């Protein structure tokens, strides 16, 4: 039976600990909640995937909500991206349909309430967030191309935003 710790050097354990620490620092900096000042300053330099991915395949434009770790809970940035990408798809004569989907195990669980709880929001902030949701719903309804929702897993909170008018196809896992 090999001795415990054989084949391990102190450096390998230190490297693993440093890697785990770096991963925690990146996650903390990405969330920016409770992060030390130096991490908040570093956060903009850390590469981050977009919350909304766009892919064009032939005549189809796929818009994927890309926050699987938060079950695609919607943020202001996601609303802004959705409005921008829907306008671009609407203006593109080669696009014939837009497919809206969620990454991971859920389509979308609605607003990111954890993000809302970070700081007290003023009435203006609340109104602005509601306006982002209304703008996204209007962009879906006003899109000159059909917008189809590829719904799987959870699909929560859309009835108040006007998303209920989406044509949906439901996927079973």
97 and 127 in one domain? yes
* Biggest distance spanned by C-alpha atoms of the chain: 70
Q: In this predicted structure, what is the pLDDT of residue 154?
A: 84
- Please indicate, yes or no, whether residues 40 and 63 belong to a single structural domain of this protein: no
My answer on whether 41 and 56 are in the same domain is no
Say how far apart CA 97 and CA 109 lie, in whole Å.
Answer: 24
Distance between CA 88 and CA 76 in Å, rounded? 19
Q: Are residues 110 and 137 in the same domain?
A: yes
> In this structure, are 74 and 124 located in the same domain?
yes
Quote the CA–CA distance of 27 and 103 in Å, as a whole number. 19
Report the domain count for the chain: 2
Q: Are residues 88 and 150 in the same domain?
A: yes
Two structure tokens written together for 52: 């909304």
**pTM for this structure?**
0.64
* Tens place of pLDDT per residue across the chain (173 aa): 444 444 444 444 555 655 555 555 555 444 444 545 554 455 444 445 689 999 999 999 999 999 999 999 998 889 999 999 999 999 999 999 999 999 999 999 888 888 766 667 788 988 888 898 889 989 999 999 999 999 888 888 655 444 544 544 455 54
Reading the block at residue 3, the tokens are 């001795």
65: in domain: yes
Rounded CA-CA distance 112/33 in Å is: 14
Give one word for 161, left, alpha or beta, with left for phi > 0 and alpha for psi -120 to 50.
Answer: alpha
CATH code, 95: 3.90.226.10
């Amino acid at each position: 039976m090999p001795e415990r710790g054989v084949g391990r050097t102190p450096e390998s354990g230190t490297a693993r600990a440093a890697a785990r620490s770096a991963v925690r620092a990146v996650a903390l900096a990405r969330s920016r909640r409770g992060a030390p000042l130096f991490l908040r300053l570093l956060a903009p330099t850390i590469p981050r995937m977009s919350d909304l991915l766009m892919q064009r395949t032939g005549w189809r434009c796929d818009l994927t909500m890309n926050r699987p770790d938060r079950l695609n809970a919607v943020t202001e940035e996601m609303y802004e991206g959705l409005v921008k990408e829907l306008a671009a798809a609407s203006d593109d004569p080669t696009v014939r349909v837009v497919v809206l989907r969620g990454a991971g195990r859920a389509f979308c669980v609605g607003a990111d309430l954890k993000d809302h709880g970070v700081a007290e929001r003023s009435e203006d902030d609340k109104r602005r967030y509601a306006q982002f949701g209304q703008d996204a719903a209007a962009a879906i309804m006003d899109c000159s191309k059909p917008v189809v929702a590829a719904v799987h897993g959870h699909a929560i909170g859309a009835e108040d935003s006007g998303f209920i008018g989406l044509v949906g196809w439901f996927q079973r896992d």
